[in-house]
Amino acid sequence: MNLEMLSKFRYPFPTLKNPFSEALQEVTNNEWIDKEYRWLYYNDESTRLKYKKTKTAHIASQWFPTASYERLQSVCRFMLWTLYNDDMYEEVTPEEIRLVHTQTIAILNGTVTAEKSGLPLGQLLSSLREELLKYLSPTSLQRFVVALSRYFSGLEQEIAYKTRRTFPGIEECLAIREDSLCLRPFLELTDIETEQPLPDEIHDHPVIQRIISLAIRMMVCFNEVQSVIKDEATGGIYYNVVKAIQHNRNLSLEEACLEDLRIHNEYLREFIHLQSFLPDFGRWHDLVVNRIHYISMTLSGWKAVSFNLPRYNSKEGFPSLETIKQKNSKVGS
C-alpha cells in the first residue's frame, strides 16, 4: 500500500542532483562512518552499514544540486548528524532531550567546547561549526541555529506525547512535525549554495515564511505515509500525522493516508499560487524567485532519492531498539 500511495504525491518541480554526490558518499562512508565517528558504533558493523545505505550524501545532493564540493561537504556532515541524532535520542525523556538541545546550540554558537558539552556528537558539531563559519555570514549562521533549536523543540513535544501515549490533534501534530522533521535548518543553509543571503526584512517576510512552512508540511505529509509502518513497529505513532488523523477521525489506515494526501495537495496548491504571484521584492526579487526555486526542489528531490531507501520504506533501515537504548544510557553521563 505504501509505494502505491506514495506514487500519488506529485510535484511539478525540476529534479536536479549534484555531480559530487558519489564522491561525498565515499567520504561519508569511509572517512566519517568508518573512521572519524566509528567509535559511535565501533563493534556494530550492521548499524554502520545501515547508515551507509541511507546515502546521506545523495540526499544532500538532491537538495543542494549546484553547491561546490567543499560547500556540499558541510551539508553532508550535517545530514549525517541528523540521522545519528534522531536515532540516538529516540527513547530519551523530555528532560534529557532538553539537555542535548541546550548543549548542541551552545557548541554551534561557540560558547561550549565539544569536550565540555558531554555530547557524543559534540566533535561532529564542532567540525560542522568550523565549516559553516567559512561559508555563512554571522546572520545566516544564526538563522540556521534558530531553525535547529525549533527542531529540538519539536522533538521534545514528540517525546512528551510518546511518553503519555496520547495523540495530539491533527493541526497540532502538523505543527510539531513541521519543527521536528529538521528540514527548516537545511532550508536555512541555502545561503551556502546561493552565496547571496537575504536581508532580514526579505527573509522574514510573511509570504516567504509561509512558503517555507508549506514546503516543510508537504514533506511531512509524504514522510508520514512513507514511515507509518516503521512508526507502528517502533511506537512512533503518537506523532505520525497519518496515525493522528486515523485516531482523531476514527478512519482506516488507508482512509487516513488519503486524508493526509488531500492535506498535502492543498498545501501544494497554495505553494504554487504564492510562487506564481509573489509580492514585488524590489531589487531582491530575482533572488527571492531563485530561493523559492531551490526550496521547491527539496520536495521533488526528496521523493526521487528516498523512494527506494530502506531507512524510509521498511523497518530494517534503522538501528535496533537495543542499540538505541545502549546509546540513550549514556545521555547526560
> Position 251: which residue type?
L
Q: Could you give all domains of the chain from N- to C-terminal order, each with its CATH number?
A: 2-328 (1.10.600.10)
Q: For residues 146 and 135, what is the distance between their CA atoms, to the nearest angstrom?
A: 17
**What is the average pLDDT across 290-308?**
92
Give the pLDDT confidence of 87-105 residue by residue, as tens digits. 999 889 999 999 999 999 9
Is 253's pLDDT higher than 60? yes
Mean pLDDT of 287-303: 96
Report CA torsion sign: 283, 288, 294, 296: negative
Cβ pair 56, 41 in contact under 8 A: no
Cβ atoms of 41 and 99 within 8 Å: the answer is: no
CB 166 within 8 A of CB 238: yes
pLDDT at 235: 81
CA 322 from chain centre, in angstroms, equals: 24
- What integer is the mean pLDDT of 107-114? 98
Residue 242 backbone dihedrals phi, psi, to 5 degrees: -60, -45
pLDDT recorded at residue 90: 85
Select, from the ranges 40-49, 164-173, 323-332, the one with the highest average predicted confidence (pLDDT).
164-173
pLDDT of residue 166: 96
Dig out the grid coordinates for 139 from the structure: 546572520
- In this prediction, residue 309 carries a pLDDT of 77
Distance CA 108, CA 158 (A): 23
Indicate if the pLDDT at residue 331 is higher than 80: no
What span, in angstroms and rounded, lies between the C-alpha atoms of 87 and 243? Answer: 21
What is d(CA 261, CA 111) in angstroms, rounded to the nearest whole number? 43
Q: Is residue 111 over pLDDT 60?
A: yes
The three-state (H, E, C) secondary structure of the chain, written as one string: CHHHHHCCCCCCCCCCCCCCHHHHHHHHHHHHHHHHCHHHHCCCHHHHHHHHHCCHHHHHHHHCCCCCHHHHHHHHHHHHHHHHHHHHCCCCCHHHHHHHHHHHHHHHHCCCCHHHHCCCCHHHHHHHHHHHHHHCCHHHHHHHHHHHHHHHHHHHHHHHHHHHCCCCCHHHHHHHHHHHCCCHHHHHCHHHHHCCCCCHHHHCCHHHHHHHHHHHHHHHHHHHHHHHHHHHHHCHHHHCHHHHHHHHHCCCHHHHHHHHHHHHHHHHHHHHHHHHCCCCCHHHHHHHHHHHHHHHHHHHHHHHHHCCCHHHHCCCCCCCHHHHHHHHCCCCC
Are 56 and 28 in contact by the 8 Å Cβ rule? The answer is: yes
> What average pLDDT does the segment 229-234 reach?
84
Q: What is the mean pLDDT of the chain?
A: 93
Residue range 167-196: mean pLDDT, rounded: 97
C-beta of residue 6 within 8 angstroms of C-beta of residue 55: no
